[in-house]
Each structure stands twice: as structure tokens, then as C-alpha cells.
Amino acid sequence: MPKTTFFKITARLPRFRADLLTWYAAHRRPLPWRQSRDPYRIWVSEVMLQQTQVATVIPYFEKWLQVFPDIAALATAPIDQVLKSWEGLGYYSRARNFHRAAGEVVARHNGEIPRDYAAFRALSGVGDYTAAAVLSIAFGLPYAVVDGNVKRVLARLLVLEAAANDPGAKILFQEKADQILDRNHPGDFNQALMELGATVCKPRTPDCPGCPVRVYCAGLHGQMQTQLPNRLAAKKTPLKHQVAVVPLWENQVVIRRRPAQGLLGGLWEFPVVERAETEPAKRVVGDLLNSEFGPGFDRLTPLGTVKHAYTHFKIEVSVFLAEATDSAPRSTVSENGKWINISELETYPFSKYNLRIIELLRKHLDPS
């Protein structure tokens, strides 16, 4: 690509801001949360968009507002209903924290989402990014957002050598974002910068000819745009082997609720246990059934294998159906467990990999 005219942002900052905002006004995507400045709707979208693609979020966002149209509706909803509405989005701590924060808004702020940064930042699950995004977009307050898209744009515009995924570089990226923020239009400017990163200044294939601020890009000027941002080498993701079992007795199955705190907190699941890679899965299932239910589940059928990736590890789950031939297997289950009819499964919130187990179960019971 031939070199183009280049101006340092610091020398023409007002012009840079104007060019970016003009482009955003003409090219921004018509996303449903951009149709109003309602702080609750914006907050919903920002929570859902963390670690999740826009296309995935849109139907969840629209359904969420039908079920929980305002902060009061969310605050008074049962946690199972909240988790069920979140089912499939992943990172369920977001839903639990949002539900808790809604209760805090009702209890501490009379149901009004606070405009004060410290007060909003103090709510459960609200970090620097969420606070800056909601307060700038909904209330026009001058707080700069920094997410993955913004880091990439800044790294290329300013040739920042710090690794974008280095926690130690957070202050640097925030300082740069604060410096270029348009304080007269902070909400639109923040969204414009994120939109630029999402649609033009993309990770592997930046559309430099189509960039509205290319004349200010030091990375393009130095032909370094595809090399930036720098990133720390990713650590190898460990693989955990697990065995899950679906105990079946007279059209009923056992599910149990995970602890409220920790991974997938509050969701329901089928009995599951970790195993060593070399340990026979059937033997692990037998031990699990004997310890939790006693004898009676004599027919064991493999349903398949489910694989799933979390942020820091992967799981590979061998799934078995355990059918009771005894007329009365042990009716007591663990403290957090229960027997339910198969038809009731759809009313409980499950993690994504447990939803796949349900699919395997239904396919086995009704292969047609």
C-alpha cells in the first residue's frame, strides 16, 4: 500500500474527532440498544456484549426486555428465571451480578440508576468498562471506554508497543483513550471508536482504505498496522476429562443445582464427576451411581461425548444414561438434587454443555 498523507492525532485532535463522528453517524449499525438513551437498556446490552458476539446478543437482548422491561422487574424476578433467560449466553456470573445489582439499585437508589461514577461503579459486577460505557452513552458523561476493539484501534493509531492482553498495560490504554475522548459527545465517540474496531480496524484484515481516520494512523504510516497490537503469548489451555450420568427411573431424571458461587453458579446440571484421562469412564459412572443412589441402575448406555471450552480450560464429557431396573432406587439424592419429569427439563436453567446432554438424551429416547 502506498504511503498516504499523515497527521499526528495530537496536532489535529479536533479534526480527528469530527472525522470519526461524521463517519459513525453515516455508517453505524442499527443495533436495537442504540434506539434510545435509556440507561437500563444500555446497561443490559453492555453486560451481554462482554465476551459475546453482537449477532448472538441481539435476540437475547430483545427477549430479555420482554421478560424484564425495567430495573424493578429484574430486581424482583426469581434467580432461576433470570438464569433461564440467560441460558446459552455463557459467563453466567454476569447474569447473577446483574440481578444482584438491580436489587441494589432498588434498595439504595430508589430504583434510579445512579449517574455518579463511584455510585454506579460500586454496584455488583460493574467494572471500569461498564461504568464508562453506560454513563457516557446514557447520560453524556465524559468517561472513555477501553475494550478489545478500542485497544486495537489505539495500538495502531498511536503505535503502542504494550501488549493489548497484558493487565499491566491497562493504565496506558486508559490514559490514551482519555486523551482523545470527545468530551462534548462522549457517548457517540466511545461507540464510534468501538464500531471502528469492530467493522473496519479488524484484527487480521484491517480495511485501511475504508478507514475514516487513516490519515492520523501512525501504524498505517509506518506500515505496521497488521503487526499491531502486540499480544502476550497465550498459555496452553488444559483439558479436563469428566463423566456425566443421567439417572432415569419411570420417566424421571436426576438434576442438581451447582453452588451459587463459582463457575456456572446456580445453574442445574446432571450428576458429573472428573476422571483421569486413563481411567475407564464406565467404572467412574458405576462408582458415582453407587455412592449417590445405591444399587438398582443396572442398564448403562453411552450417549456420546460433549466438548466445551471455557476461558481458562476445556472439558470433554463422556455422557451415560443409567436406567433403573429396580422398582425403587434410592429416592434420596444429594442436598442440591431432585428427581424431575423429563418434560420439566426445559423449565430449568442449564449450562450450554448440559443442554447438549439433554439433546443427546432426547435423541436416544426418541430417535425419530
Q: Report how far residue 161's alpha carbon sits from residue 220's, in angstroms, rounded to the nearest whole number.
A: 14
Q: Report how far residue 266's alpha carbon sits from residue 350's, in angstroms, rounded to the nearest whole number.
A: 9
Closest residue by Cα to residue 182 from 166, 193, 198:
193
| Alpha-helix runs per DSSP H in 167-217 | 170-180, 186-199
Instruction: Let me know: does 241 contact 275? Beta carbons within 8 Å.
Output: yes
**What is the DSSP code string of 16-84?**
HHHHHHHHHHHH----GGGG---HHHHHHHHHHHTTS-HHHHHHHHHHHHHH--SHHHHHHS-HHHHHH
- Residue from 46, 87, 269, 292 carrying the catalytic annotation: 46
CA 359 from chain center: how many Å? 23
Active-site residue flag, 269 = no
Catalytic site residues? 46
